[in-house]
Structure 1
Amino acid sequence: MSRDAPNIIDQAIAWHLRQADMAATEWEAFVAWLEVPVHAEAYDRVTLLDRQIAEVRFPDPAPLPVAANDDAPRHRRWWPLAGGGAIAAALVLGLTMPSVFAPAAADHVYATRDGERRDVRLADGTQVALNGGSLLRVSGDDPRRVALDSGEALFHVVHDAAHPFELRAGNQVVRDLGTTFNVVHSGARIAVAVAEGSVLFQPDGAQLRLGAGQAVTMAADHRLVRSTLPTAVIGGWRTGDLSFDGTPVGEVAASLRRALGIDLRIIGDLSKRPFTGMIHVTGAADRDVPHLADLIGATWRRNGEGWVLAQRDAATP
C-alpha cells in the first residue's frame, strides 16, 4: 500500500458523506476525482464498508459489576454513533480491520462529466448508455441491481423473468419487465420513459406499470405526471434530439448542460416555467443556447465561459 493510501481513503470518505447535498459543480469535481483508478478503488471500498457496517448488529454491552459499597448501581452510558465524524471513524475502522466483515464484491462505479457520454455493457449483457453528468453504480454481487445516483441513462435490458432487473433512482425503484427505457435523475426529480416492452415503476412503494410510449415524471413533491410520447424520441439525446413535455425550463437547461458540458445558469422564476417541444443540439453552445432562449422566450448572455438565461422583463445587462 502506498504512503498516499490513507489520504485517499480520507478523501473517499469525505466524498461519500457529502453526496446527498452536493451541488452541480461539486459533482463535476467528484467525477473528475473518480477518473483516477486508485481513487475509484478507494471509493468502492468505502461504499462497500458503509453498507456492511449498516448491516452489522453490534451486541449490547454487558453491565458493569456493582461494588459492595455503592449506594446504587452505576451504568456506563453507551452513546450511539452519530454524525459524519462517527461514520468516518467507523469506515476507517472497517477499512483497517477487514477481517471483521465477511468479504463481498465492491460496487462498480461509472461516471461521466457534462458533455461526455459512455456506453457500458453489464455482466448479464444489459447495455447502458450514460449521458453527460451521470453517475451509475452497479452492484458487485449482482449486475442486475444498479443505481442511477444522478444524470440520465438509456437501458436496454436482457430479460430474465426469474431474476428481474432493478434500478434505483434516489429512493424510488424501477423493475424491468423486458424492455428499453430511459431514466433521468436530477435532484429530487425522476423521469422514466419506455421505448420497448414495459417496466414497473414503484414510486413510494406503489405499483405503476408503464408500456412502450408511456412516461411518468415524479416531481420534488412526489407528485406524479403521466404522459405519452413517440417511442422514437425516447433516448433521442444520443443523436442530439431532446424532447420535452411540460418540463420545467430548469430541467431543460440541465439537459443542455449534460449534452454540451457548459455552465448554463437560469435567473429568476424562469426555471419553473414549463416547456413543451423538441430541441436539436448541434454541439455548438453559441448556436444551441440562443436557440433555446428563442424557444422559451428568454434573453441570453455570455458570462465568462458560461451562459445566463433570464426572462425578457428580468434581463440584466
Structure 2
Amino acid sequence: MVARFSPSMTLQCRLAAQPPFGEVVANDNAPVRRTGWRIVGALVGISAIAACGLLTISFLPLHQAQPHTISVPEGQTRSIKLPDGTILALNGGSELRIDAVRRATLERGEIFVSVHHDQDRPFELIAGDRLFRDVGTAFNVSVSNTAVRLDVAEGAVRYEPDGAPLEVKAGQGLVLSGESIERYPVPTTSIGSWRQGRLSYRNARVSRVAEDLTRVTGVPIEVPPSIRDRSFTGVIILPRNDDATRRMVGSLLDVSVHADVAGWHLESRHSTY
C-alpha cells in the first residue's frame, strides 16, 4: 500500500492512520481486540514490532519538511524506519515528533533507537528538554512525569546539558530528574527488552513498574502511596491473558491486584512495613 498525503497531518498508530507527508510504505495489521481490557497480546514475541507494522517514511527535501507527530496508544507498539536506515521502536503510550531527517523529540512514553551512524550528521533525540546525540548507537529513552531515563545498549550516547557534555557508554544508564543526574550500570541484554515482552528492573520503584505495565498492556494501574516507593528487582515476562498477568504481577511485587472497569488497583498484602 503506497499513498501520498499532505504535510499537515498527524500520523496515528492505527490501521486507518494517515501519514503527515512524503511517501509511506506500510504493512499494518489491525490492532488486536481483547474482551474486558484494551490489551494487545500480553506475551509479546520476538516479532512483536513487526506484527504491529513497519513504516518506511521517505521525507520531502529537508528544507521543505515540516515536523510531524507519531502517536502510539497504550497497549500497542510501532516501529519506524527512517530514510537513513535508523529504526525507531515506540512503546505504548508514546508520542514522537520527527523534526528533521536526523532529529526527533520524544514528547512522552518510551523509545528504542537503532541509529545508522553518520559522523558528519549525528542523530539527535530530545526528551524532556534533554538533548542526546548518538556516537554510533542503540539506546532506550523513557520520559515520565518526574524523570528522563537513558540506557545505552551499543556504542555511546552524548548527553549535552548546558554544561560539559557527558558520554554514556554501552552498559550504562542515566536518570535525569531536575538538576539531579544519576549514572548506573545496566545489562545490555535488558535494554529495550519491552520489545520482546520482558520488563527488567534493578531497584526500581513500584510506581515505575506500574507505569511500564500500563504502556505495554494498555490497562490503567493505580498504585497507593504506601507501596509507590517500594523497590523491585527482577524480570516480568508477560503471560498471554489478563488473569495470568495479574497473578504474576501480584506475586512478583508482593501485592494484591484488583481489577474493575477502571483498571487495576494494587494494594499491600501486609498492614505495615
Q: CA deviation at 1:36?
A: 5.5
208 and 250 in structure 1: CA distance in 2 versus 1, 3 angstrom threshold: same
The percent identity for this pair of structures is: 35
- Asked if residue 192 in structure 1 is aligned to residue 128 in structure 2, the reply is no
Distance 1:308 1:202 in 2: 39
272 and 206 in structure 1: CA distance in 2 versus 1, 3 angstrom threshold: farther
Q: CA deviation at 1:293?
A: 2.1
TM-score by length of 2: 0.74
Deviations 1:98-122 (A, max 9, x none): xxxxx85321211111110111011
Q: Tell me if the contact between 1:260 and 1:283 (Cα under 8 Å) persists in the aligned partners.
A: no
Q: Which has the larger radius of gyration?
A: 1
186 and 314 in structure 1: CA distance in 2 versus 1, 3 angstrom threshold: farther
250 and 203 in structure 1: CA distance in 2 versus 1, 3 angstrom threshold: farther
SS of structure 2 residue aligned to 1:310? strand
Deviations 1:249-302 (A, max 9, x none): 111111111111112111223122222221111242322233222222222111
Residue in structure 2 matching 1:147, options 75, 80, 105: 105
Deviations 1:171-230 (A, max 9, x none): 1111100110011112231111111100012345442211111111123x4422221122
252 and 195 in structure 1: CA distance in 2 versus 1, 3 angstrom threshold: same
In structure 1, list runs of 5 or more residues that go unmatched.
1-8, 13-29, 42-102
Q: Tell me if the contact between 2:122 and 2:134 (Cα under 8 Å) persists in the aligned partners.
A: yes
Q: Which has the higher contact order (CA 8 A, sep 6+)?
A: 2
Residue in structure 1 matching 2:170, options 184, 188, 212: 212
Distance 2:109 2:233 in 1: 20
Q: Tell me if the contact between 2:198 and 2:238 (Cα under 8 Å) persists in the aligned partners.
A: yes
SS of structure 2 residue aligned to 1:300? strand
279 and 146 in structure 1: CA distance in 2 versus 1, 3 angstrom threshold: same
Q: Which has the higher helix share?
A: 1
305 and 198 in structure 1: CA distance in 2 versus 1, 3 angstrom threshold: same
121 and 36 in structure 1: CA distance in 2 versus 1, 3 angstrom threshold: closer
Q: Tell me if the contact between 1:131 and 1:259 (Cα under 8 Å) persists in the aligned partners.
A: yes
- Asked if residue 122 in structure 1 is aligned to residue 82 in structure 2, the reply is yes
Whichever residue aligns with residue 124 of structure 1, its letter is: D
Q: Tell me if the contact between 1:132 and 1:258 (Cα under 8 Å) persists in the aligned partners.
A: yes
Count of matched residue positions in the alignment of Structure 1 and Structure 2: 224
Distance 2:267 2:253 in 1: 10
Residue in structure 1 matching 2:265, options 303, 308, 311: 308
Q: Tell me if the contact between 2:13 and 2:78 (Cα under 8 Å) persists in the aligned partners.
A: no
SS of structure 2 residue aligned to 1:295? helix
Distance 1:186 1:249 in 2: 14
Q: Tell me if the contact between 2:13 and 2:70 (Cα under 8 Å) persists in the aligned partners.
A: no
Residue range with higher mean Cα deviation, 269-278 or 130-139: 269-278
257 and 204 in structure 1: CA distance in 2 versus 1, 3 angstrom threshold: farther
Q: Where do 1:248-263 residues align within 5 Å?
A: 248-263=205-220
Deviations 1:141-178 (A, max 9, x none): x2111011111111000111111111000111111001
Report what 2:221 is aligned to: 264
In structure 2, list runs of 5 or more residues that go unmatched.
1-7, 22-62
Q: Tell me if the contact between 1:31 and 1:112 (Cα under 8 Å) persists in the aligned partners.
A: yes
254 and 163 in structure 1: CA distance in 2 versus 1, 3 angstrom threshold: same
Distance 2:226 2:134 in 1: 37
SS of structure 2 residue aligned to 1:289? helix
Q: Tell me if the contact between 2:141 and 2:149 (Cα under 8 Å) persists in the aligned partners.
A: yes
Q: Tell me if the contact between 1:117 and 1:131 (Cα under 8 Å) persists in the aligned partners.
A: yes
Residue in structure 1 matching 2:204, options 237, 242, 247: 247
SS of structure 1 residue aligned to 2:73? coil
Whichever residue aligns with residue 82 of structure 2, its letter is: L
Aligned CA RMSD, in angstroms, stands at 2.8
SS of structure 2 residue aligned to 1:109? strand
Q: Where do 1:1-317 residues align within 5 Å?
A: 37=18, 104-139=64-99, 142-203=100-161, 205-219=163-177, 221-304=178-261, 306-313=263-270
